[in-house]
Amino acid sequence: MNVNDIFEVTITVQESDTAIAHKSGGLPVYATPAMIALMENAAFMLLKNDGKDSVGTEMNVKHTRACLVGTEVTAKATVTSINGNWVNFNVVASDNKGEIGNGVHTRYIIDAEKFMSKLNK
């Protein structure tokens, strides 16, 4: 993994992705929590494909435009900096009309077994 590495994930918005389903709003539009999860997944998968387990530690996102069920949404994570086990990303979500959200995300690279063993004590 290097600075400027990019990973994208794409989904088609389902009823389960709406603000109503997430209880984050009252309209049948793509929910902010669902968009954030897609962005985080893009960053997670970038590291996972490099053989690294990680946990998300920070997310700062703007949801700038709504979209409907049936819309194809792509989230892109771009590595902006690496400092030891800390990895920072720019994240962007878009549909066929353009950007619907953007922000920054931080992940920490972990040893999954060691991490989980600490939680089970």
Domain range list for the chain: 6-119
pLDDT on residue 79: 98
Check: CB of residue 13 under 8 Å from CB of residue 73: yes
Fold of the 6-119 domain: Thiol Ester Dehydrase; Chain A (3.10.129)
Cβ neighbors of 118 (< 8 A, separation 6 or more) are none
Query: Residue 121: pLDDT above 80?
Result: no
The token pair at 28 is 């049948």
The 10s digit of each residue's pLDDT in 6-39 is: 999 999 999 999 999 999 999 999 999 999 999 9
Query: Residue 120 — pLDDT band, cuts 50, 70, 90?
Result: confident
The 10s digit of each residue's pLDDT in 49-94 is: 999 999 999 999 999 999 999 999 999 999 999 999 999 999 999 9
* Phi, psi dihedral angles at 89 (to 5 degrees): -135, 150
